[in-house]
C-alpha cells in the first residue's frame, strides 16, 4: 500500500451496502458476494448515515490487522465523529467510540493494558473454569428441563456467559444482579444510557470492594497487576471484558447448537453417542463467526489499496465472516484447520481464545448430555437472525425434548453463592419422570429478565 495523490476511486464514493437492516441479517453471504465483485474492500453503512469501508478479502484483512503502524484502533481518529457528521449518540457509537481500554488503544499503551488482561485471565485454572461452566449450565438447564421445551438463546446461551464471568471476576450476588440488569438494558436497548451508568457504577463498586478485600479472581489480579491501571482504566477494562466475553460467547454457543441440531452430518453422530462438538465449533468459527464484522481500524494517512483510496480517519471494518468465506480459501476449510479469522489476528486478536472455546464446548456438551433427544422446534430456515452490523446472532433458538429430571447438582453452587437464587431453584425443582412444569410458561419472555428474576430469587 502506498499513499497516492492521483484521483482514484474512493471506497466511500460507491453506493454503500447497508449492514444494519433485516435483509442483511437474513442473508449476509449474498451481501458479501455482491461486495466482492468490486474488490477486497467495499463501502458500507453501519447504521443510517454512518459510513465505513468493509474489508472482505482474507489477505486484505490480514494486511490491515498486521499493520498497526498504518491502521490505528484509536477511534479518536474517526473523522466523521470528530466533525459531527456522525452524531455522538448514533446506534453504533457504544461499539466504536473511544474509551481507554485495550481494544481502542495502540502501541505501548495497548501493550500495557493488554498484558494486564492476559496475565489476569491466565490465572484462571481451566479446571475451575470448567466447573463454573458446568454448575452454571446445570442451574440454567434445571430451569427448563421439566418443561420439554425451551428457547436456548434466551434461557441458556445468553445468560450462561455472564454467570461464568461473574464467577471469574469474583462478583458477589448483589453486584452480579446489577451487572445482569445493566447488560440487559444495553443489549435490549431499554434505556442504554441508564443501563450503562448502572454497569459502570457497579464495576466501580466491585473494584472498590476488591481493593479492600482481594480474592483469587480476575478483578483482584487486574488491580494488583504491575501495569498499575488507574481506576478509570480498570472500569473500562472490566466493562470491555464483560462485553467481549458475553455477546460473542452467546453467539458461538447458539450458532454451534443450531448447526449440531440441524445438520445431518452432526445429527448422525449425536445418536451414536460421539458428540463432535469441537468440529461444530470449528465450522461455526469459519462459516458463522460470532463477531461477523468488527476490528474497526482508522488509516493514519491516506492509503491506496488495490486501486481504492482509503481515507485517513475513515473507519475500516474487518469482515471476519467474508474473509473466512473468501472463495480463494474455501478449499482449505476442514475441521481442525483453525486459520479462520473469528478471533481476529495481529496485536488485537482475542486474548481469551482458550477460555472462550472451553466455555462454549462445555456449555454445548453439557446441554447435549442432559437433553440428548433435543430437536429444533421449528424448521432451521425459519430461525431468525438479529439485525446488527457486527454480530452473527440468532434471535431465538426454540427446541423441544422429552421432559427431563432436574439435577440438584447446582444447588448450593449457585453462581456467587446467591441464597435467594438457590431458593428459587429449589422451588422450581420438579420430580423426575417427565411432568411439564408451569413456571416456565409463566416466566418473563426475555432471557435477561428471566435471569434477573432468577438472581432475585423470584
Nearer to ligand HEM, 118 or 201 (CB): 118
At its nearest, how many Å lie between ligand HEM and the CB of residue 428? 28
**Pairing, β 50-55 against β 17-18:** unpaired
Nearer to ligand HEM, 32 or 294 (CB): 294
The Cα-based distances of 27 to 37, 96, 353 in angstroms read 17, 24, 27
Classified as helix, coil or strand, 404 is coil
**Pairing, β 41-47 against β 71-72:** unpaired
At its nearest, how many Å lie between ligand HEM and the CB of residue 352? 3
**Any bridge partners for residue 316, and if so which?**
53, 297
Nearer to ligand HEM, 164 or 404 (CB): 164
Residues 41 and 53 sit within 8 Å (Cβ to Cβ):
yes
Nearer to ligand HEM, 349 or 400 (CB): 349
Find the helix or strand (DSSP H, E) in which 41 lies: strand 41-47
At its nearest, how many Å lie between ligand HEM and the CB of residue 343? 5
Residues 237 and 222 sit within 8 Å (Cβ to Cβ):
yes
**What's the CA angle centered on 244, arms 59 and 350, to 5 degrees?**
40
**What's the CA angle centered on 158, arms 152 and 162, to 5 degrees?**
140
Nearer to ligand HEM, 143 or 340 (CB): 340
Residues 84 and 93 sit within 8 Å (Cβ to Cβ):
no
Nearer to ligand HEM, 22 or 215 (CB): 215
DSSP state letter for 119: H
Give the span between the Cα atoms of 140 and 268, in whole angstroms. 27
At its nearest, how many Å lie between ligand HEM and the CB of residue 240? 5
Nearer to ligand HEM, 207 or 424 (CB): 207
At its nearest, how many Å lie between ligand HEM and the CB of residue 168? 7
With a CB cutoff of 8 Å and minimum separation 6, the contacts of 91 are 20, 47
Give the span between the Cα atoms of 259 and 290, in whole angstroms. 13
Give the span between the Cα atoms of 421 and 456, in whole angstroms. 6
Give the span between the Cα atoms of 31 and 26, in whole angstroms. 10
The footprint of ligand HEM (CB under 6 A) covers 102-103, 114, 117, 240-241, 244-245, 248-249, 252, 290-291, 294-295, 342-344, 348, 350-352, 355-356, 360
Nearer to ligand HEM, 147 or 234 (CB): 234
Half-sphere exposure of 443 (CA within 13 A, CB side): 26
Nearer to ligand HEM, 183 or 291 (CB): 291
**Pairing, β 149-151 against β 71-72:** unpaired
At its nearest, how many Å lie between ligand HEM and the CB of residue 412? 26
With a CB cutoff of 8 Å and minimum separation 6, the contacts of 456 are 177, 420, 421
At its nearest, how many Å lie between ligand HEM and the CB of residue 167? 12
At its nearest, how many Å lie between ligand HEM and the CB of residue 108? 13
Amino acid at each position: 500500500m502506498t499513499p497516492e495523490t492521483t484521483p482514484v476511486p474512493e471506497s466511500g464514493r460507491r453506493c454503500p451496502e447497508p449492514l444494519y437492516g433485516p435483509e442483511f441479517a437474513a442473508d449476509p453471504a449474498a451481501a458479501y458476494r455482491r461486495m466482492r465483485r468490486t474488490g477486497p474492500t467495499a463501502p458500507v453503512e453501519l447504521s443510517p448515515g454512518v459510513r465505513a469501508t468493509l474489508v472482505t478479502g482474507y489477505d486484505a484483512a490480514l494486511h490491515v490487522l498486521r499493520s498497526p503502524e498504518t491502521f490505528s484502533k484509536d477511534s479518536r481518529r474517526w473523522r466523521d465523529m470528530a466533525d459531527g457528521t456522525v452524531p455522538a449518540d448514533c446506534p453504533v457509537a457504544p461499539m466504536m467510540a473511544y474509551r481507554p481500554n485495550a481494544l481502542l488503544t495502540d502501541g505501548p499503551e495497548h501493550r500495557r493494558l493488554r498484558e494486564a488482561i492476559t496475565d489476569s485471565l491466565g490465572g484462571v485454572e481451566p479446571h475451575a473454569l470448567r466447573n463454573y461452566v458446568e454448575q452454571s449450565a446445570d442451574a440454567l438447564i434445571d430451569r427448563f428441563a421439566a418443561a420439554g421445551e425451551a428457547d436456548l438463546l434466551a434461557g441458556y446461551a445468553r445468560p450462561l456467559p455472564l454467570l461464568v464471568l461473574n464467577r471469574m471476576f469474583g462478583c458477589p450476588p448483589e453486584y452480579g444482579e446489577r451487572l445482569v440488569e445493566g447488560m440487559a438494558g444495553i443489549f435490549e436497548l431499554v434505556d442504554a444510557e441508564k443501563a450503562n451508568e448502572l454497569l459502570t457504577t457497579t464495576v466501580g463498586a466491585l473494584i472498590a470492594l476488591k481493593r479492600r478485600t482481594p480474592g483469587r479472581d480476575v478483578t483482584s489480579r487486574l488491580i494488583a497487576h504491575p501495569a498499575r491501571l488507574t481506576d478509570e482504566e480498570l472500569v473500562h477494562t472490566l466493562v470491555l471484558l464483560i462485553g467481549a466475553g458475553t455477546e460473542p460467547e452467546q453467539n458461538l454457543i447458539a450458532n454451534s447448537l443450531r448447526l449440531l441440531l440441524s445438520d445431518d452430518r452432526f445429527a448422525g453422530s449425536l445418536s451414536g453417542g460421539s458428540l463432535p462438538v469441537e468440529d461444530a465449533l470449528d465450522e461455526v468459527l469459519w462459516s458463522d463467526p460470532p463477531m461477523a464484522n468488527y476490528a474497526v481500524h482508522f488509516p493514519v494517512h491516506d492509503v491506496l489499496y488495490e486501486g481504492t483510496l482509503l481515507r485517513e480517519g475513515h473507519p475500516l471494518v474487518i469482515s471476519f465472516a467474508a474473509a473466512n468465506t473468501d472463495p480463494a480459501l474455501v478449499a482449505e476449510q476442514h475441521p481442525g484447520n483453525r486459520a479462520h479469522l473469528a478471533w481476529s489476528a495481529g496485536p488485537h486478536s482475542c486474548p481469551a481464545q482458550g477460555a472462550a472455546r472451553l466455555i462454549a464446548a462445555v456449555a454445548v456438551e453439557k446441554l447435549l448430555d442432559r437433553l440428548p433427544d433435543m430437536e429444533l422446534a421449528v424448521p432451521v430456515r425459519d430461525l431468525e437472525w438479529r439485525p446488527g452490523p457486527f454480530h452473527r446472532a440468532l434471535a431465538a433458538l426454540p427446541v423441544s425434548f422429552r421432559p427431563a429430571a432436574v439435577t440438584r447438582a447446582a444447588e448450593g453452587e449457585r453462581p456467587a453463592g446467591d441464597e435467594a437464587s438457590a431458593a428459587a431453584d429449589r422451588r422450581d425443582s420438579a420430580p423426575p419422570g417427565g411432568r411439564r412444569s408451569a413456571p416456565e410458561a409463566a416466566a418473563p419472555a426475555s432471557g435477561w429478565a428471566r435471569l434477573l428474576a432468577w438472581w432475585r430469587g423470584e
